[in-house]
A and B are shown apart, each in its own frame.
Chain A
Amino acid sequence: MKRIVILGAGTGGTIMANLLRRRLRRADWAITIIDRDNEHYYQPGFLFIPFGFYTKKDIVKPRSKFLPRGVEFMVAEIDRINPAANEVVFQDGSSLSYDFLIVATGTDIVPAETPGMLDGWRDTIFDFYTPDGAAALAEKLKNFPGGTIVIHVNETPIKCPVAPLEFAFFCDWCLARHHRRDKIELVHVTPLPGAFTKPVASKALASLLEEKHVRMVTDFNAERVDAASRKLIGYDGREIPYDLLVTVPTNMGSEMIERSGMGNEFRYLPTDPNTLRSKKYENVFGIGDATDVPTSKAGSVAHFQSEILAENILRAIAGKPLEPAFDGHSNCFIEAGLGKAILLDFNYEVEPLPGRFPFPVVGPMPLLKPSRINHWGKLAFRWIYWHLLLRGHPIPFVPSRMKMAGKKRSGDDPAPGETK
């Protein structure tokens, strides 16, 4: 009996289990998926917990619920992968052999990477990238009397690169609704040279920050945190004081990847950006946040990668050459407050552009500007995630590879019926 082993039962791992089970004969291929727990969180929901819109309960379900029959699900801690021996070694010393391995172990925040950050952890320094972090921040915000809230990104890449901006927009809106906005200063501190590095989106997002009176400090690289005096201290000597620090600490891949000797400086698996095969091991593939491919770390990326990866696994099994089909496609709703959201759709080659999505003219979703329909799209997405996406069902009208249809580049002729 041959075996495919999937490490990680988050978004990417779960989709792959579903896609591959449907396409491989049970008599020939066993599929085993392994995770360290049985709690699947809908991570886009974390943003709403600090503001009281969701609790942890609203956004968690058992991982097993989304795994098909005929896939073995193990809850276990992995010590390391032994790629030379084609096996995975568990912490209890036992091992499991594989013919093909899919690394879907994601990425996580590592506050310890910044000296001093943990000194103020969950006291004046909070994250919203974990369920417990978001819940603790909700408590803090309820009673926060006023002062400066710094919304900080420590080091890139991070998963969901727009989430800190979303937090700023949403925080501004919620505070205003509760008549607390004037007592609070919001500052966004980032190592980037702007709100986003891609120029068109950066302008659009920066102007929204300005509109909402969120000050931006750019090109800031934190050397350490002085939790006692509540300051972020940069390598260049700049100091940013705060009363409350909402930070996205450095993101890194699983320590297991490092123990396996298979990761780069961030513990990500070096992966071919178009075939999704590991650069070093012929029978090892990667999906989602765990890879080093140069596109966003986002659930949508794992979704767009999945069909292409499934096809390539089948090709690898048949000894056929792989299709370098993945184009870096990423798609993202950014909550903007006021009942509106912004939609980005881009890939390796094309930055986020304005226009309409998924269809030219008809849309119905505008790209790169706030709209109510995008906000409803974001909220509806939770249902789509649980009921369609995780089970590997295609999302109508949105293919794996990004489409240029509906997008406007400066200098392009207007689409028929559109005025520029």
Chain B
Amino acid sequence: MPQKLFGTATVDVDAEGFMTDFGQWTREAAAAIAKDEGIAELTPAHWKVIEFMQKDFKENGQVPSIRKLNKSGVISTKELYALFPGGPAKKAAKIAGMKKPEGCV
């Protein structure tokens, strides 16, 4: 299984870089994945989104959609695109340590 190295920690990832074991997720891992995704620093706005996604995933078993994020009041879709440019659902899910969103089935 491919692995990613962050400082001294390693996490298991799939071929596209999504974490395969959420138990390995740490805030440091998130910051490192974010850097890879072109986000130099995770601001409190970023963390609000990450925390909501993790909470929602825990409750529902599915990565929340952009629509759900927008409806939740945590962040507007426009802001989401500014924070996670180029495909926020995928990017945010990666940084939050989740599997790839089910987007299209």
Residues of A in contact with B (beta carbons under 8 Å apart) = 155-157, 161, 191-193, 196-197, 219, 221, 223, 235-236, 264-266, 270, 292, 294-296, 330
Contact = CB atoms under 8 A, between A and B. Distances in A.
Interface in B48-105: 60, 62, 65-68, 71, 77-78, 81, 85-87, 90, 100, 102-105
Nearest to B70: A265
B86 A157 contact: no
Given A157-B105, A197-B103, A219-B87, A235 B68 contact: no
Contact of B67 (A155, A161, A192, A270): A155
Residue picked from A161, A197, A292, most chain B C-beta under 10 Å: A197
A155 B100 CA distance: 16
Contacts of B78: 223, 235
Contact of B104 (A196, A264, A265): A196
Given A265-B65, A296-B105, A236 B81 contact: yes
B104 to A, nearest CB: 5
A191 B71 CA distance: 19
A197 B16 CA distance: 12
A155 B67 CA distance: 9
Given A193-B90, A296-B105, 5 more contacts: A196-B104, A219-B86, A219-B87, A235-B78, A294-B102
10 contacts: A161-B104, A192-B103, A193-B90, A221-B81, A223-B77, A223-B78, A236-B81, A265-B65, A265-B67, A265-B68
Nearest to B67: A265
Contacts of A157: 102-105
A2 B40 CA distance: 62
A402 to B, nearest CB: 14
A155 B101 CA distance: 13
Nearest to B102: A294
Interface of A is mostly: loop
Contact of B86 (A197, A236, A294, A330): A236
A380 to B, nearest CB: 26
Contacts of A295: 105
A377 to B, nearest CB: 22
Given A221-B66, A265-B67, A265-B68, A236 B102 contact: no
Given A221-B66, A294-B62, A192 B86 contact: no
A349 B51 CA distance: 27
Nearest to B87: A219
B83 to A, nearest CB: 11
A192 B102 CA distance: 11
Q: Could you say which interface size class chain B belongs to?
A: 10 to 19
A191 B85 CA distance: 13
A237 B104 CA distance: 23
Nearest to A328: B105
A191 B104 CA distance: 9
Given A221-B81, A235-B78, A156 B103 contact: yes
B105 A161 contact: yes
Contacts of A235: 77-78, 81
B65 to A, nearest CB: 6
Contacts of B86: 219, 236
Residue picked from A221, A223, A270, A330, most chain B C-beta under 10 Å: A221
Residue picked from A192, A223, A235, most chain B C-beta under 10 Å: A235
A233 to B, nearest CB: 12
A209 to B, nearest CB: 15
Contacts of B102: 157, 294
A228 to B, nearest CB: 22
B54 to A, nearest CB: 17
A252 to B, nearest CB: 9
Contacts of A156: 103-104
Nearest to B60: A270
B94 to A, nearest CB: 12
A155 B68 CA distance: 12
A138 B86 CA distance: 35
A236 B68 contact: no
Given A219-B86, A235-B81, A236-B81, A197 B104 contact: yes
Contacts of A292: 62
Contact of A236 (B85, B100, B104): B85
Contacts of B65: 265-266
A294 B57 CA distance: 14
A196 B105 CA distance: 8
Contacts of B100: 197
A266 B70 CA distance: 12
A278 to B, nearest CB: 14
Contacts of B81: 221, 235-236
